[in-house]
Structure 1
């Protein structure tokens, strides 16, 4: 049950003011003053007194009985308290059910009848409701109170349905997450985008043989990402979002198509067929299923229909996995932002204040003891270095991969922050495709670049930092090296990153440079071998 609260109390106060005005204008003003005072006390108790708040139904029934009897003994049809008959029903409409509104209305009618019966028995010549308008007037006000209560309850339910409170929203989120956990455990491929895309290509191979294939998906509103590639280590087709071709036509038309090419008469190009099927669960596509066979007669009408059915089934799985991945990424980014904000507003600010205090003490100490001042200067340098490391950690948390921020932009922004205030020349070479790597691959490569850049900052010996990034999804190559003195191969502690890269089908190579420093190379070889030639379409 929901408590009416302030709206019901405001309505009670308004009616009491109206009844007070009417009592001043009537002949019953002296006798009506006491009921008005008691009802005002009840209005206060309904908001402030715990026992009354814990039992709103009993309180409303008692209020209805009291106001019904009060109306009967303060003038009947001419009573100044008649408008207050609307209050109990409306209070129950805001806080209870329609049945409780009816019970409260019946209680008000019982109070009217009881009060009038007592009034009749006190008269020397009882009239038993004859000769005046009491029954009609009181009945009208009682029915009006019932209508007010029912309308208030209906409006309250509409408001609750349209604007659920925070507790209801969290409860609904919890129930949905519990359902998601149960459903995920029963899914054959879970909610992994790559696994779902590989399974789709596997099913398509059983329907129609192909030589090269890929599943391209678009997380959010960003660039297309190859979720799975077979028969090639790069995406050989033109980007459908920016370059004309069969991929763009399928994307724009939302219809599957087959593009056939005959072999060159005197050239090297052999005949081929390209089937492109949009992946969509609504009006807008979120990806493409692309199959290429070196046979110009491949993908006939029957095969295309079977592929379309596989694409429809696979689209639901893929979009569900993408939604789950988006939720997970959003939570991660929000948590990183919160940690960065807390570190900046907390420990970083406190340490900066301690640094100012040390500067003041150092100046004072220099006038008394030069040795003490020198020692304090060393402490201040250490504190400055610590603050710088904390600020770099804050930059680590704020700099992340997102739908609108790719790997190259993230690395460039981070290197700019690392090189700030350092005597290091940063050399950056970026070559990125119009396609993007999968999110976990981009994050891993970015973290490897972070580790090497942090080593440059900590050592303070490097004068040059070279970063080379070549991205041609699903393949990529990242090389980060510096000339920071004689180090050890294992000084960067990259074992965990190497294992993760191996699980993604890549390799991490770490070696020392001949002229000092260290070289780290991360290579991702996507796809499964095959033809690397561009498709030309």
Structure 2
């Protein structure tokens, strides 16, 4: 804590200033006590010599040569000053123990060496101090009467202990700084999560499935014409995890709105209302009862259950209490499922980014160099050479593969922007692919301000990307139609082309269809593949029930 060096940033924010402060305090302490024992200019002279020896140790503490020599000079000067000031003070009326006062400075350069991670210096400095102190005792036998020998042994021992403690502290701090503690903790928690997930029955870590089951349980004690489970998505809005009822409802998902939904989220208490909690129009004159039950895990609101029925005062206090009792144990299960979904999404996204970097820095760069090599060969060969045409064909194939890799990199790096939305991400990908493949892209986008869960949006984006890629690579199409209708919890993505259809679909294309089907099943969606009239193929993924027309 008195010098700059590799450990200094770990221990102190401004080690050089602290080194100056420590030395200044120690020198002032020695000067005051030594002058009290022997008020002469000689005492100040020796204190000044120690200060001069400390200057290079402060200015260049980590220099490979000057730093160690400066600290050695501090130690030797301190030992000589201790002997000299003790000799000066050894007269009638002078105090005893002056050697201990001066030798207390020894720990400063020695501990500085340990903090500079120059451990080989410590025995050298202690050895040099012992040699100087023994030599002074032999040269001036009068020092024996002042307790000089005992003070020397005492402070050499204390300095060695200080160096050992400093070294141990350094090891401890470095191990804390360098140890992968966050990764170890994450590994432990993820291992536990994996074990728990394997023991749970069925798809109990699926937020949508849990939400649907919860609605069934709550509606058994509190009847509802329409119901939904909402959860947070960031940005001050909620997402619909699941909903039930005769008709689809456009729920109010803003947390800053004047609604029972916003009040229940903020107060963490069940809320009732005599008006609908939806933005969709309710027929005039319809009497509505609404109940919003918060899902509380610990002290956090993780979601809401919204129930509505077209009848007045339909939720008495006893029914509200029963609904809250049913919802209470479900909150922790839902939070675990949402966290698991988020961890899986983050891991998937990071792995896609890593693969994109690997491909870009590896195979893609090597293929570009192969292309340059072919170009150089073509430039060196005559145009009429038979090999030239083969090289041109090879160069064309290399260019095609590089284009495919660039599109694959774009697909890997594509994500649903938190503010842009799913439809925007799909449209950007369709435009990029269409431009590279010479396809005319026709877009029809209808996206509400409400958002789907992030994991669901990610899966829908990958399904759309795979469908667009299949159309580009295998359909032989001229036109591509992409239609997005997103009104949570409903979503429908449709990709159509005017190519030659499914008859000549290659094996790799069918593998892509299997991947899309797996993704759709994961989010409880439906994948539909059908011929397009008069020619081509339509791939659609549908999530939730059909949208209600005429909703506001």
Q: Normalising by structure 2, report the TM-score.
A: 0.68
2-structure distance, mates of 1:160, 1:206: 59
Return the alpha-carbon distance in structure 2 between the equivalents of residues 299 and 13 of structure 1: 86
Q: Secondary structure at the match of 1:379?
A: helix
Higher relative contact order (CA 8 A, sep 6+): 1
Which residue in the other structure is 1:296 paired with? 312
Equivalent pair of 2:229/2:306 in contact (CA under 8 Å): yes
Aligned-pair CA distance for 1:213: 1.4
Q: 1:408-439, CA deviations, whole angstroms, 9 ceiling, x for partnerless residues?
A: 12211111210124432111101122333344
1:211 and 2:225 are equivalent in the alignment: yes
Correspondent of 2:335 among 319, 330, 333? 319
Contact 1:235–1:472 (8 Å) recurs in 2: no
Q: How does 1:224-235 map to 2 (within 5 A)?
A: 224-232=238-246, 234-235=248-249
- Which residue does the alignment assign to 2:536? 517
Range moving further from structure 2, 477-486 or 342-351: 477-486
Q: 1:236 to 1:487 in 2, by over 3 A?
A: closer
Counterpart Cα distance in 2 of 1:130 and 1:156: 42
Q: Deviations over 1:310-366 (max 9, x none)?
A: 444433332232222222211111111111112112221221222122223223323
Q: Distance in 1 between matches of 2:480 and 2:430?
A: 9
Distance 1:127 1:198, change over 3 A: farther
Matched residues, number: 461
Query: Whole-Å Cα distance in 2 between the matches of residues 136 and 363 of structure 1?
Result: 88
State the partner residue of 1:363. Answer: 379
TM-score when scaled to structure 1?
A: 0.70
2: CA distance, partners of 1:295 / 1:535: 21
Could you list the per-position Cα deviations for residues 63-119 of structure 1 after superposition, in whole angstroms to 9, with x for gaps in the alignment?
A: xxxxxxxxxxxxx94999875567888999999xxxxxxxx9xxx9xx99xx99xx9
Map 1:38-77 onto structure 2 (within 5 A).
Answer: 77=99
Structure 1 stretches of 5 or more lacking a match?
A: 29-75, 96-103
- In 2, Cα distance between the equivalents of 1:272 and 1:137? 92
Kindly indicate whether the alpha-carbon contact (under 8 Å) linking 1:431 and 1:471 is maintained by their aligned counterparts in 2: yes
Q: Which of 180, 184, 208 is residue 193 of structure 2 equivalent to? A: 180
CA pair 456-535 structure 1, distance change in 2 beyond 3 A:
closer
Report how far residue 205 of structure 1 moved.
2.8
Alpha-carbon distance in 2 for matches of 1:152, 1:408: 59
CA contact (8 A) 1:261 1:272 kept: yes
Q: Separation in 2 of the partners of 1:435 and 1:373?
A: 58
- Which is further off, 128-137 or 341-350? 128-137
- 1:416 equivalent to 2:464? Answer no
**Cross-structure match for 1:52:** none
1:429 counterpart = 2:444: yes
Gaps of 5+ in 2: 9-60, 85-97, 277-282
Moved more, 309-318 or 334-343: 309-318
Q: Shift of residue 440 of structure 1?
A: 4.8
1:202 correspondence with 2:216: yes
1:238 matched to which residue of 2?
A: 252
Give the match for residue 76 of structure 2.
20
Q: Pick from 249, 253, 258: which aligns with 2:272?
A: 258
C-alpha distance in structure 1 between counterparts of 2:428 and 2:241, whole Å: 26
- Determine the structure 1 residue equivalent to 2:27: none
Does the CA-based 8 Å contact 1:86-1:148 persist in structure 2?
no
Q: CA deviation at 1:445?
A: 3.3
Q: Which residue of 1 aligns with 2:461?
A: 446
